[in-house]
Chain A
Amino acid sequence: MAATGMVDFNKLDRTIHEKGRLAIMTLLATRPRWAFPELKSELQMSDGNLVTHLRALHQVGYVAVTKEIVDRPQTSYSMTERGRTAFKAYIETLAEIVKLGRL
């Protein structure tokens, strides 16, 4: 058990904790759907980097992928219920750490 004080650091989701994936999860939390170019433009990431992170998040079930043809083929991403729960838990753990530091 890697716990320090009252915070169990195992609760800190390693998949979300990575900087790029955290940014993706944050954006996906703001609205129901994000098209790939919108995510790319907002995060200033390369195609390859963004695809890798999105794939990692999709593999753990945090992100759902929708492919459709609207004038041209478009891939959009949304946060799953599982992802939302994990993201909420991640933020709560961060808040706990901050609170502990202020004691």
Chain B
Amino acid sequence: MDSRSAEDHLRVIRELMERATIYRAISAPAALCCGFLALIVASAALIPGPLQPILRHYFVPVWIIVFLLSAVANTLFLMRSTGERKITFPSRRLRTALVAITPAFMVAGALTILLTRNRGSEIFVAVCWIGLYGMALLSTVTFAPRSIALLGWAFVLTSCLCLGLLTQDYLFSFTASRHVTLPGLGYLAMAGTFGLYHVIYGFAVMFYGRHGNG
């Protein structure tokens, strides 16, 4: 055996080990479902219509329903994927991912309860969800593909940017000049992140997946 073929063997070992430990906890079709659902809900809340007052009044319950529907969609897509590969559901890698993301979701739940005690806190609730969702994704970074890490960073950075901008004076001038209410601003933030970012992620993973770069 020469050094070139030894090097090839080592490369194959490394690639196989990396591939075996990588796990995509959000499937591309589920991301598209979640993204479009978030965009539809946010549009209904932002564009004047019969649903607007209800959606604006029940900001947190509405997004909890969206979250649950998205979680169900993701579970179904992951189940289909494991079924195709004849693997028991939930797979070991899915369980590892769930353990990794649970702390961030717990903090998000606690902050939601705390923040929703005050009216007009919708935008702050949204920013907390955005940041903690990003942190949940980043907590899987040791075994997640690069696209999940990028998605996580996009959420975290957006959250940091929003927190930097959300001074009371700025909020007051922003909402006053554009006739946007605080719940409306919350819907805008949710549409831009949970809606748009997931749609971009879903299409990117589908496109690169087809071109062998998943």
Contact = CB atoms under 8 A, between A and B. Distances in A.
B33 to A, nearest CB: 25
Interface string B13-29: 10011011100000000
B101 to A, nearest CB: 19
B149 to A, nearest CB: 20
B3 interface: yes
A94 B10 CA distance: 7
B16 A23 contact: yes
A42 B20 contact: yes
Interface string A16-30: 000000110011011
Report the contact-size class of chain A (Cβ under 8 Å from the partner): 20 to 34
Give chain B's interface secondary structure class: helix
Contact of A95 (B1, B10, B12, B17): B10
B88 interface: yes
Contact of B3 (A38, A71, A100): A100
A48 interface: no
Interface in B1-60: 1-4, 6-7, 9-10, 12-13, 16-17, 19-21
Given A26-B13, A26-B17, A38-B87, A31 B92 contact: yes
Q: Which of B2, B13, B92 has the most CB of A within 10 A?
A: B13
B119 interface: no
Interface of B: 1-4, 6-7, 9-10, 12-13, 16-17, 19-21, 85-88, 91-92
14 contacts: A9-B1, A12-B1, A22-B12, A23-B12, A30-B20, A30-B21, A38-B87, A91-B10, A94-B7, A95-B6, A95-B10, A97-B2, A98-B6, A98-B7
